[in-house]
Amino acid sequence: MPSPAPPQWDLQADCSQCTGLCCVALPYTRSADFPATKTADTACPHLDDSCGCRIHDRLTADGWHGCRAFHCAGAGPHTAQVLFPQRSWRTDDEPAVQFDTFRMMLGMFEIARYVEEARARVAPGAPCADPDLAAALAQVSADLHHEVHRAPPVDRDDALQYRARAAPLLHQVAAAVRDAHACRAALSPLARRLTRQAPGADLAGRNLRGADLRGSDLTGALLIGTDLRGADLAEATLLGVDPRGALLDGTKLDSALFAPPGWG
């Protein structure tokens, strides 16, 4: 299967190139992650006139852990600069279209981030090189890149369709990475036990400090408040984990697969 030309993705969360879309379009609820409640499509009271955050330097201290952990993978800058250039939501006659588009882009760019990471793992010369899998991922990436450049509004089902296309390929890549690890080193008893619980192991609040989790499958794991300080997650699969409040000082993540944004 010939690979299409690789698209150029910008998956960086550059707030200076956005218009505070996440601070308006997304809701939040009073919880351990947020000290207040806000509905969707309303501006956060901390958003200033230049679309910056008035309390950015004290988000953690003031309890805004959800804001600190959030990463749009480039969906915000793309929505603001590519899809709605020179159209501020503050003066737009239909700002809801911008907000709805941004929410759709969040899902699309999350998939793109996973797909691009998977492509690197099976590219020619990589330890898990697989030409057929690389070509299939390249096609998804190219199609997805074309889709996110369509003029809004974006079909609500698009993200779900691309997620369905990408998911089996991502799982194949993850399995290949774990198999390659298993050929070099046996899983620890803990890594084997947690892998058997995947997807969706409930590790919330667990003390896994210094644990050997190399090559484990933690797909969909709840890691809320989990102590992973000093743990070794080399070549572990972290697809779709819930990482809120996880403790990560000294955690070895260099070769972990599909780690949440900001964990690297």
Q: For position 1, what pLDDT does the model report? A: 52
pLDDT over 90 (residue 195): yes
DSSP the chain: -PPPPPP-------GGGS-STHHHHS-B-SSSS-SS-B-TTS--TTB-TTS-BTTGGGTTTTT-HHHHH---TTHHHHIIIIISTT--TTT-S-HHHHHHHHHHHHHHHHHHHHHHHHHHHHSTTSTT--HHHHHHHHHHHHHHHHHHTSPSSPPTTHHHHHHHHHHHHHHHHHHHHHHHHHHHSPPPHHHHHHHHH-SS-B-TT-B-TT-B-TT-B-TT-B-TT-B-TT-B-TT-B-TT-B-TT-B-TT-B-TT-BSPPTT--
pLDDT average, residue stretch 240-254: 91
Give pLDDT tens digits for 221-234.
999 999 999 999 99
Q: For position 205, what pLDDT does the model report? A: 95
Give pLDDT tens digits for 104-142.
999 999 999 999 999 999 999 999 999 999 999 999 999
* Weakest-pLDDT range from 108-117, 155-164, 180-189, 221-230: 155-164
pLDDT average, residue stretch 169-192: 94
Q: For position 7, what pLDDT does the model report? A: 82
Q: For position 150, what pLDDT does the model report? A: 87
pLDDT band at 16 (very low <50, low <70, confident <90, very high): very high
Average model confidence (pLDDT) across the chain: 92
Percent of the chain past pLDDT 70, that is, above it, reads 97
Q: For position 8, what pLDDT does the model report? A: 86
Q: For position 264, what pLDDT does the model report? A: 61
Give pLDDT tens digits for 33-71.
899 999 999 999 999 999 999 999 999 999 998 998 899
pTM of the model: 0.90
Q: For position 32, what pLDDT does the model report? A: 87
